[in-house]
């Protein structure tokens, strides 16, 4: 399961897939393909044949917030959708959070799920670190990556080999 900020004002409305229509989607789908999670590295339209393998992609907010910065109210309004997805997807083994916004939105929901099953767990929110990971008491693993936004990729904070390594790690955990 991949969780990040992906409002996709232009691409998702055209292709029916989040993380399409901008450069972050180009990075994401290319990395998914390299690691064997997608049958192709590109997307063009809803019927282009792209298929994901062992992967579910979701976003923190379901709208396109101004300047790609969702307000706390927007995040709060959309958290119920993310909570429903986390609850419905019972076979998730790895949760890949993209960026601080992804981690901040996912952590309260994930930790609540874990604490319901393991009330004595001492859970502490991990600090976002590219390539960082945390194994949860329920067996799932959180893997963290910087978001493939232009702010990160154009400045070199996130390089293609760095991003690919996260997907290689996810593949290794699943193996």
* DSSP code of residue 139: S
Give the H or E element holding residue 11: helix 11-15
pLDDT of residue 15: 67
This model's pTM is above 0.85: yes
- What distance separates the 2 farthest-apart alpha carbons in the chain? 48
Residue 120 CA to residue 170 CA, distance in Å, equals 27
Which CATH topology does 2-6+55-174 take? Uracil-DNA Glycosylase, subunit E (3.40.470)
Per-residue pLDDT tens digits of the chain, which is 175 residues long: 999 887 565 556 566 677 777 788 889 999 999 999 999 998 877 788 889 999 999 988 776 666 667 778 888 877 888 999 999 999 999 999 999 999 999 999 999 999 999 999 989 999 999 999 999 999 999 999 999 998 999 999 999 999 999 999 999 999 9
E strands, the chain, are 2-4, 57-59, 94-98, 133-135, 141-145
pLDDT of residue 140: 97
**Collapsed DSSP state (helix, strand, coil) of residue 101:** helix
* All residues at 6 or more sequence positions from 171 whose CB lies less than 8 Å from its CB, including other chains: 35, 36, 37
Of residues 35, 40, 136, the one with CA closest to residue 92? 136
pLDDT of residue 169: 98
pLDDT of residue 32: 96
Of residues 32, 60, 3, the one with CA closest to residue 168? 32
Residue 125 CA to residue 115 CA, distance in Å, equals 13
Joined together, the tokens standing for residue 161 give: 């080999």
Tell me the pairing of strands 141-145 and 94-98.
parallel
Give the H or E element holding residue 174: helix 160-174
How many CB atoms are located within 10 Å of the residue 174 CB?
12
């Amino acid at each position: 399961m991949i969780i990040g900020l992906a409002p996709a004002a232009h691409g998702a409305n055209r292709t029916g897939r989040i993380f399409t229509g901008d450069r972050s989607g180009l990075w994401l789908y290319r990395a998914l393909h390299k690691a064997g999670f997608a049958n192709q590295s590109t997307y063009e339209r809803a019927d282009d044949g792209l298929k994901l393998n062992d992967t579910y992609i979701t976003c923190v907010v379901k709208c396109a917030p101004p300047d790609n910065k969702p307000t706390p109210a927007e995040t709060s309004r959309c958290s119920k959708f993310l909570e429903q997805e986390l609850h419905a997807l019972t076979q998730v083994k790895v949760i890949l959070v993209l960026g601080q916004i992804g981690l901040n939105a996912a952590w309260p929901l994930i930790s609540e799920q874990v604490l319901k099953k393991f009330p004595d767990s001492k859970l502490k929110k991990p600090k976002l670190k590219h390539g960082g990971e945390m194994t949860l008491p329920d067996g799932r693993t959180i893997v963290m990556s910087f978001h493939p936004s232009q702010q990160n990729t154009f400045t070199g904070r996130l390089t293609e080999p760095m991003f690919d390594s996260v997907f290689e790690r996810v593949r290794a955990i699943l193996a």
